Structures are given as structure tokens and as C-alpha cells.
Amino acid sequence: MHPKYGRLLSAWFVLCGALLTLAGTGLILATFDRPQPQWFGLHLLGFALMLAGYRVWPRALPAAPVAPLLTPLPETIVPEIGVAASPPRAAHFRPALRAARLCLLLGMAGELTGGGVLASRDLSELRALQTRGVTINAQIIGRERLPDDAPGGYVTYAYSVGPVRQRVAVHNEFYLARDEFAKAYTGKPLPITYLPDAPATHRRSRVRAARFAATCWHWAGTGLAGLLALGLPFAFLERRYQPLLALAREGTAASGTVTARQDVTRQGRLIGVAVAYEFVRLDGASQTGAGRVPPRVGVGLRVGASLPLLYD
């Protein structure tokens, strides 16, 4: 694969993965009352695509003729001003990486905001039902027919409250596993607790203090899982690339000398040049290093050639 196309494909994988991760998280929150396993799969698929994107453009280098090599700076950070410029230099992440970071940050902000609103509404309703709720029997009025291989199905129920001329009818549905679904026959009574001043606000069965506490823990766990699902990929990006960005902006410029080189190929195509080098620090100490440079830079490098570099 040509290096240019490898970078484009990598950027495409990273961007699509970030968007799928963000979409999966949003759909999980939007269908929280009716969990859909495919949304979790969508989120994991996005994360897998992001990881694949970082491997499409190869970074693994041969051990010979030099020691294990450093992560290549030119492939991950674009310096807009040459290394000889005085720090701080104008350097930034490539567009795909910036888009991935932005999507993950927006996802975490959306998860906190949306999850906080849903949790606050749910817990406030539960508290009101616990203190002022009235418990009556609703009635199951329908069931969603199940395919033979389905793990469960949805049951529809209804109830009505209030004076005859001002009676309010409410219906809703909920999910049951196959064993429980078989017992939920049409006409079966179903205890529910509703608010007299807002009859549509209700929960199945009685609402007690233990249920309120369990719901608090449930929302806390859901929020933590959402933050981890988005925060871990973000932390991975930051841990891997922020040190390189800091080096590009604030690193000390030096001129090294190439002491060894080796072409890095894949399927017969040149994808980089592995080089070993030595240079003298500002304090007069000599230091050696190794890394990989892109083909456009490495083709002209020979042993003894000068190599501009940055060190911290």
C-alpha cells in the first residue's frame, strides 16, 4: 500500500470508529428503558475500528540493525514550522486524530448531560411515588408475538383512574424474558404505583426505599460505564500522542548524524526508513537514538548524513 493511501485509510478507520462509538453511546442512552444489545455492539465496533485505524498504517519496525525504535513523530504530528524554529512551535494533531478526540469529548459531555437529565427525572419520580404514590392493579391487554428463537418479548398493560367523567386512561409496555413472558397472559392483574396529581407517572409494583436506593446505584453504575467506554479510548489517545505533541512544540532542536539505516518494506513497498543516530546535547553530552522516518525523508539519508531532530 502506498504510504499516502495508508494514512488516508487509517484516518478513515479512526474517524468512522469515533463516530460509531459516539452513535452507539447515544443510542444506548436513548433506548435506556428498552435495552437493545445491538447498540452495545455498535459501540464496541466503533472502538475496534479506532484501534484498527492505528494499525493500518504500519508502525512496527525490524529490530536490526538498531535497537527497538521510537514512535515516529512525523506520522502522528504535523509541525507547521521547521524544527529549527524557536519553541513554542506551531504543531497540531492530524485532522483524523483531532476529529476522534473531539467526538470522544462530545460523547462524554453528552453522556454526562443526557444521563444526568434522565437520572434526575427518574429519581425525582421515584421519590415522589415513594412518598405520595397510590398502588392499584393494572391489567395486561396485549403481548407481542415472539419468534421461536427470541429471548423474550414485550407486554402491554393499561389502567384508568379518576372520576367517571374525568377518567384518565394510561397504557404502556415492558420487556419480559421468555419464561416470564409465558406467564403474562392477557387479563392478568399487574400492580402499579402512580401519582394522583399526574396519573401517567407510574412504576410497576410498589415503590419502596430499597428500590430507590437500588436505582441510585444503577444510574451511578451506568454513568461510570459510559464514562469508561468513552474515557478509555480518549485516555489511550492522550497517553500515546500528547507527549509527541509536547515534543514537537517545546523540544530542543539538534542536528544528529546517521550511524545506521535500513529500509522498511511491506509487500515489496517502501513504507519507511529505520535510522540510528547520535547527537550532542546543549550540555555537551553525547546521546544516541533510533527512530523511523517517512520514505520521502529517508530515501536520501545515508550513513554519515545530517539529521535534524528534537529531544526533551
**The pLDDT of residue 101:** 83
158 pLDDT exceeds 90?
yes
- The per-residue pLDDT of the chain, averaged, comes to 77
Q: What's the pLDDT band for 7 if we cut at 50, 70, 90?
A: low
What CA–CA distance (Å, rounded) separates 170 from 262? 75
- In a 10 Å sphere around its CB, with 0-12 CB exposed, 13-18 middle and 19+ buried, how is residue 209 labelled? exposed
Question: pLDDT of 167-186, one tens digit each?
Answer: 888 989 888 888 888 888 88
Give the phi and the psi of residue 239 in degrees, each rounded to 5.
-65, -35
Q: What's the pLDDT band for 267 if we cut at 50, 70, 90?
A: confident
Of 276, 295, 296, 274, residue with least CA distance to 287: 276
85 pLDDT exceeds 90?
no
Contact 143, 154 (CB under 8 A): yes
Question: pLDDT of 23-68, one tens digit each?
Answer: 776 676 666 555 566 667 776 777 777 767 655 444 433 333 333 3
Helix H or strand E segment including 138: strand 134-143
Looking at residue 206, the DSSP 8-state letter turns out to be -
3-state secondary structure 49-92: HHHHHHHHCCCCCCCCCCCCCCCCHHHCEEECCCCCCCCCCCEE
**The pLDDT of residue 76:** 37
Q: pTM for this one? A: 0.60
